Structure 1
Amino acid sequence: MASDLQQRRESLIVQAKIDVNLANDNEVIIHTVSRSFASDTITVPTKEMYQYALLSSLGDDVYEEPSTIRLQNHVAKLFGKEAALFVSSGSMSNQIALRAHLTQPPHSLLCDVRAHIHCYEAGGAAYHSQAAVTAVMPSNGHHLTAEDVKKHLVVIDDVHFAPTRVIALENTLNGCIFPQEEILAISELAKLHGIRMHLDGARIWHVAAETGTPLAELAEPFDSISCCFSKGLGAPVGSCLIGTKEFIHRARWLRKLFGGAMRQTGILAGSAAYALSNNLQLLPGVHDLTKKLEKGLIDLGCIITSPAETCMVFYDPSPLELSYDEIQERAAQLPDPIKTGGSRLVVHIQTSPQMIDDFLNLLKTLATEKGVELPAKPKRVNGEMDPRDIYVRVSKAKKA
């Protein structure tokens, strides 16, 4: 009997064994990442990041995890707030924030119609917070204004409507920087009506790097802020939710409710800390590379539908008689393939500058094959033409 039990145990042990060590594939993966416009979330941890992360503490974050606590305290101070909470993703951070603010329906959330909270979080505001969403199209095509917000706020005492309880802004949105003066104007409007302000600042690092504005200043108008370490900064996992001590206490409770409480998070906190300490300085170079890509698209005759203010550019290749599917198919067939999606091209800290040149050359080749006459070099004033000027003129032309 004992012998039979031992055999079954040994069989179970053999069946349970698995080898997921695929380190030999990593060089290929790193190269593939360097030639992809898909997103900045695809960046991979470097050996230096992992080496630093291995020095982190080994505590349990449901109780107290020293490295994670140190990261949270540092991030809270960096953003000028009292406390912060490490969570697994930006979507979780946003949804916990909304649920912490929205305690009792009926209530509604106001945001940009293109916002991540509205479009890409699986209807979380309705599911988790029972909130209606007022999704507003910016009248200027770039960012919400105080006037846009004012027109759509629900502040009347009428049983037919769900009152606006939270205004959620995103900075950057589609890679574009939300002007701080407009955020302040919206904040004043929110204060007037007792409405909470939440910032989806997944890529707020880009705003700070491009404008030189301190993170605490960018965060000041908001009651809560979400920032992401895996978008832009290159950490493998993690975001922080930031606010008052009381707010973060409730957020920690909700994180548990959502199933987001984690155990040994030290290695993740270490990776995030390394990314924040070493990769923030790389973002201006990312912005320069994105603007180089934008200039190349303009020179070929493409329409810029959303400008390269930080790490993204949106384009329309129809003037070259090309579709996104054609471009994607041919890019994948290159000797050194390039991964593209649709209209959005994302540049990140591990993007290869060579890919930018290769992509622009591909568009030129495809257009030439179709017999499209490429434009002459655009005329420039004092040797310069601001792509944003082209974006504005194209946008006006399309509206007309």
Structure 2
Amino acid sequence: MSTQVSPAIQDIIDQVKVDPIPKNYAADNAAKRKEITRTFISDTMTVPSEEMLTYATKATLGDDVYFEPTTFALENHIAQLFGKEAALFVGSGTQGNQIAIRTHLKQPPYSLICDKRAHIYKYEAGGPAFNSGAHVVPIVPANQHHITLEEVEENIVLGNDVHMAPTELVSLENTLNGTIFPQDEIIRICDYAHSKGIKTHLDGARIWHVAIETGKSLKELCEPFDSVSVCFSKGLGAPVGSCVIGTKEFVARGRWYRKMWGGGMRQTGFLAAAAAFALSHNFPQLVKAHALANKLEAGLEELGAVILSRAETCMIFYDPAPLGLDFEEIGQRAEALPEPLILGGSRLVVHIQTAEQAIDDFLSLIRQLAEEKRAAGWVPPTANGHAASALKDVYVRRKVQMTK
């Protein structure tokens, strides 16, 4: 059989050809990995290591819409690890949360309760409303840390009042802004919800941090919930992927929604393998990340910055106003360093690829900027002055904004 093609077809073939990989990709990747060690914006910035990529190439080549062995093995491991019946590999944490919400909610009208700062409410593009037709009831926690059973009771909708959208799901998040949701309060809320026939979901994108910090097993942390979503691509450093966990029936229906929303993938084995590598090799590194976060918090406090939210795990929220500084000038000077630091304002996120030198350089920069301010005539507000009172009001407003 002849394999020769006409000039016209050859021209089309030549048009289709592409090589998007830069010629000096190795150097570019090395530079990116270096940049990530000095990036405090988010742990979503983590990148796969060479070892992870090499391990991933050994994965099987099945089709996950039908059956993919490596992915199936990962899902089974996750289900057992979290003490649930089944798990489903999905492309992102947002997709996992949205699949879980839609799977739990059957026939509207209905509503769900969550923290006003929750990812499902603030950062998933209105997904509960668009994907599930769900009314969201966001709660502002009075303690500025976590919602309580009493607040859930105040906002829950029970009965058949036609003016209301009955509550059918309570969704909690752990961690939220890096803070750990007290397990006893989780149990109280979930027990109450279940007593009213209401399902519970955990956005556990960073639940790995809670296990490392508290010493509680993932099974114990997630036992109160009907479903859980966990992420591999944030604190664990995998390139792509999350899992939704629950009963076999729940996961089977969730798989249907995953397909409906275009999330049915083909050769997912290499992604699942990268996630498995992250579990085995990157999860233990969270201990170091938390230690660096504590060092960063202590250094900022020693310099005189106000800590708005403490380093319970990997995040710190701070205010440099007592030093005469603002986030814009800090960010500009950080970017101008010989080895730039990449910042995102009040929130500082420490991750498994954060370099200790980056912590030291950031604290040195804050110290230098504060000294320059004092040399230029900046006078720190005194404890009894009007300036101190005004500054305290600023702290309160900023902390309330974090909550809201």
Q: What is the TM-score with the length of structure 2 in the denominator?
A: 0.91
* Cα offset, 1:55, TM superposition: 1.1
Q: Which residue of 2 aligns with 1:10?
A: 10
Distance 2:246 2:214 in 1: 23
- Residue pair 2:41, 2:348 contacting (<8 A) in 1 also: yes
> Are positions 1:240 and 2:267 aligned together?
no
Tell me, which stretches of 5 or more residues in structure 2 are unaligned? Answer: 382-394
Q: 1:65 aligns with which of 49, 64, 68?
A: 68
> Are positions 1:332 and 2:330 aligned together?
no
Distance 1:5 1:278, change over 3 A: closer
Distance 1:58 1:198 in 2: 32
Q: 1:140 aligns with which of 103, 122, 143?
A: 143
Distance 2:319 2:135 in 1: 33
Q: Which residue of 1 aligns with 2:295?
A: 292
* Cα offset, 1:156, TM superposition: 3.3
Q: 2:187 aligns with which of 184, 189, 199?
A: 184
Q: Which residue of 2 aligns with 1:267?
A: 270
> Are positions 1:163 and 2:166 aligned together?
yes
Distance 1:23 1:122 in 2: 35
- Residue pair 1:300, 1:374 contacting (<8 A) in 2 also: no
Number of residue equivalences: 380
Deviation string 1:125-168 (CA, Å, 9 cap, x unpaired) is 00000011100011111111111111111113211111111000
Q: Which residue of 2 aligns with 1:307?
A: 310
- Residue pair 2:76, 2:87 contacting (<8 A) in 1 also: yes
Amino acid at match of 1:339: I
- Residue pair 2:156, 2:167 contacting (<8 A) in 1 also: yes
- Secondary structure of the 1:279 match is helix
Q: Which residue of 2 aligns with 1:24?
A: 27
> Are positions 1:222 and 2:222 aligned together?
no
Distance 2:8 2:173 in 1: 56
- Residue pair 1:41, 1:231 contacting (<8 A) in 2 also: yes
Amino acid at match of 2:123: Y
Amino acid at match of 2:27: N
Deviation string 1:157-194 (CA, Å, 9 cap, x unpaired) is 21111111100000000000001000000011101211
Distance 1:311 1:77, change over 3 A: same
Distance 1:254 1:287, change over 3 A: same
Q: Which residue of 2 aligns with 1:105?
A: 108
Distance 2:379 2:368 in 1: 11
Deviation string 1:78-122 (CA, Å, 9 cap, x unpaired) is 000000000000000000000001111111110000000000000
Amino acid at match of 1:309: E
> Are positions 1:257 and 2:269 aligned together?
no
Distance 2:371 2:338 in 1: 19
Q: Which residue of 2 aligns with 1:205?
A: 208
Q: What is the TM-score with the length of structure 1 in the denominator?
A: 0.92
Distance 1:48 1:139 in 2: 45
- Overall identity of the aligned pairs, in %: 58
Pick which of 353-362 and 153-162 moved more: 153-162
- Secondary structure of the 2:266 match is coil
Distance 1:14 1:325 in 2: 48
Tell me, which stretches of 5 or more residues in structure 1 are unaligned? Answer: 376-393
Q: Which residue of 2 aligns with 1:389?
A: none
Q: Which residue of 2 aligns with 1:46?
A: 49
> Are positions 1:194 and 2:182 aligned together?
no
Distance 2:56 2:290 in 1: 27
Distance 1:162 1:223 in 2: 21
Distance 2:399 2:229 in 1: 34
Q: Which residue of 2 aligns with 1:343?
A: 346
* Cα offset, 1:67, TM superposition: 0.3
Q: Which residue of 2 aligns with 1:120?
A: 123
Amino acid at match of 2:31: V
Q: 1:130 aligns with which of 125, 129, 133?
A: 133
Distance 2:243 2:106 in 1: 21
Distance 2:166 2:398 in 1: 37
Q: CA RMSD in A?
A: 1.9
- Residue pair 2:322, 2:380 contacting (<8 A) in 1 also: no
- Secondary structure of the 2:292 match is helix
Amino acid at match of 2:356: P
Amino acid at match of 1:11: D
- Residue pair 2:56, 2:271 contacting (<8 A) in 1 also: yes
- Secondary structure of the 1:240 match is strand
- Secondary structure of the 2:298 match is helix
Deviation string 1:234-276 (CA, Å, 9 cap, x unpaired) is 1000000000000000000000011000000000000000000
